[in-house]
Structure 1
Amino acid sequence: MSSAFPSLAGHFLIAMPTMTDPAFAQSVVYLLAHDAEGALGLIINRHMDLTLAEVFAQLQPEDASFDPAHNQEIFNGGPVQAELGFVLHQRGPEFQGTTHFGELALTSSKDALLAIAQGDGPTPSMIALGHAGWGAGQIEDELRANAWLSCPADHKIIFDTPIAERRSAAAALLGVDLDRLSHQVGHS
C-alpha cells in the first residue's frame, strides 16, 4: 500500500482551529504546485496594511502614472521570501516573470504591478508579498496531523469573495462549518 498523496495543486488548504503556527492560523492557502519535492502556495485571506498605491509610490517609476481606480489591497502571501511580490491572476497576459499553474498564473516581476497600477494588468488579480512553501513530505505530515482540511479550489473564492469570508467559503466547499469544529484533536 502506497503512502504517497496525490498532488494537491489547485486545492485549498484550510487551517484547522487547532493550528497554532501564527504564520498559518486561521488561513486559507491556495496551492499552486505540489509534488514529491514540496509545495508552493499563497495565503489568500490575509491582507496587509498596504495598498498597491503605496507600493507604486515606493517603486517610483519615472514614466508611469497610477490610476487610483485600480488600487487594491496587498496580501500577506506567506512567510517565505516576504520581501518579494507576487501577482496571482488568470492566464492571459504574459509578463517577464510569469509561470503558469493550470488555469491561473503567478507573476513575480515589476512589470505586472506597473500594468495593474495603470489599468492594463491582468484582471482579476491578487497581489501578495511572500509565499507559503513546504519541503518534501511536509504537507502530507501536516495533513496526517489534522492541521489542515483540503479541497479543490474555487477561483471565485480567491477573486470574488470578501476577504473576511474566504475561510468559511472554502470550508463550505466541503460542507464544513468551521465554527462547529472542536479546537481539540483526538483519536479514538
Structure 2
Amino acid sequence: MGDGAFLSGKMLIAMPGIGDPRFERALVLICAHDEGHAMGIAVNRPVEGLTLPDLLGRLDVKTSVDMAPDLVLLGGPVDRERGFVLHTDDYMAGEHSLEVGEGVALTATREVLEAMAGHGHPPRRSLLALGYAGWGPGQLERELRENVWLTCEADEALIFGPDHAHKWSKALAKIGVDASLLTSTAGRA
C-alpha cells in the first residue's frame, strides 16, 4: 500500500463467511496501521453481563459519578486480559494516548479509567474493550484483497453507540450495502 493508503481511523466490516467465529459480523476500528502491522478494536462485541461499573469495581477504581451500565466489549482475541479505552479526543493522556482518527483516541492506562470514573476530566464519549485484533506485515492488506473485510469511514455512532446488535448492518448501509443481500459464499470472477 502506498502512502496515505493505511487504514488508521477507518472501520473494517467483516464479510459473511469470514471463516473465523471471533470476527463473525464484527465491526473493527483500526487504531494503528503501517507496513509492519495493524491493530484494531472491535466495537460491537459486548461481553454479556459485564458492565463498565462492574469492571471498575473489580479493579478498585472508585467512581465519584453515576455511571451508565455500559457493557464492556471484547475488542479482539489478542491480550484479552488487557483493557483498551477508545474515547473522544477531548481527553488525552499525553504520550499514553494514541490518536486513532478524527476526534478519536486510544488509551490503555489506569488514568483514563480514573477519569471515566469521575476523577478528573473524563472524555465526552468512551468505551472499554478487553483485547484487540492484530495483523502482521501484509496480513490485513491480503485479507482486504481477498474480500474478507469491507471498509467504511468511522463515526461516533458506529464507535460509541449502544446498539451493538445493529452496528454491523449500519456500517454496511453507510457504504450502500444491504446486509440482507449478502451471502456467506463468495465467488471469484
TM-score normalized by the length of structure 2: 0.89
- 8 A contact 2:15–2:149 mirrored in 1: yes
- The more displaced of 152-161 and 25-34 is 152-161
- 8 A contact 2:30–2:100 mirrored in 1: no
**What is the distance in 2 between the residues matched to 1:79 and 1:128?**
11
Residue among 60, 79, 86 paired with 1:81: 79
- 8 A contact 2:86–2:128 mirrored in 1: yes
**Any gaps of 5 or more consecutive residues in structure 1?**
none
1:69 maps onto 2:67 in alignment: yes
**What is the distance in 1 between the residues matched to 2:122 and 2:41?**
20
* One-letter identity of the residue aligned with 2:104: L
Go from structure 1 to structure 2 and tell me whether the alpha carbon gap of 1:95 and 1:183 turns closer, same or farther (over 3 Å shift).
same
Q: Which residue does 1:60 correspond to in 2?
A: 60
Q: CA RMSD in A?
A: 1.8
Aligned length: 183
- 8 A contact 1:53–1:68 mirrored in 2: no
**Residue 33 (structure 1) shift:** 1.6
Aligned pairs for 1:29-44 (under 5 A) are 29-44=28-43
Identity %: 39
* One-letter identity of the residue aligned with 2:174: L
**Residue 95 (structure 1) shift:** 2.8
Go from structure 1 to structure 2 and tell me whether the alpha carbon gap of 1:132 and 1:153 turns closer, same or farther (over 3 Å shift).
same
Q: Secondary structure at the match of 2:186?
A: coil
**Residue 79 (structure 1) shift:** 0.8
Q: Which residue does 2:106 correspond to in 1?
A: 106
- 8 A contact 2:84–2:128 mirrored in 1: yes
**Residue 153 (structure 1) shift:** 1.7
* One-letter identity of the residue aligned with 1:86: F
**What is the distance in 1 between the residues matched to 2:122 and 2:70?**
12
1:78-121 Cα offsets, whole Å, 9 max, x none, are: 11111111110111223373222232111101121122123742
**Any gaps of 5 or more consecutive residues in structure 2?**
none
Aligned pairs for 1:6-21 (under 5 A) are 6-21=5-20
**What is the distance in 2 between the residues matched to 1:127 and 1:46?**
11
- 8 A contact 1:70–1:117 mirrored in 2: no
Q: Which residue does 2:88 correspond to in 1?
A: 90
Q: Which residue does 1:137 correspond to in 2?
A: 138
**What is the distance in 2 between the residues matched to 1:146 and 1:114?**
40
**What is the distance in 1 between the residues matched to 2:8 and 2:67?**
33
**Residue 161 (structure 1) shift:** 5.6
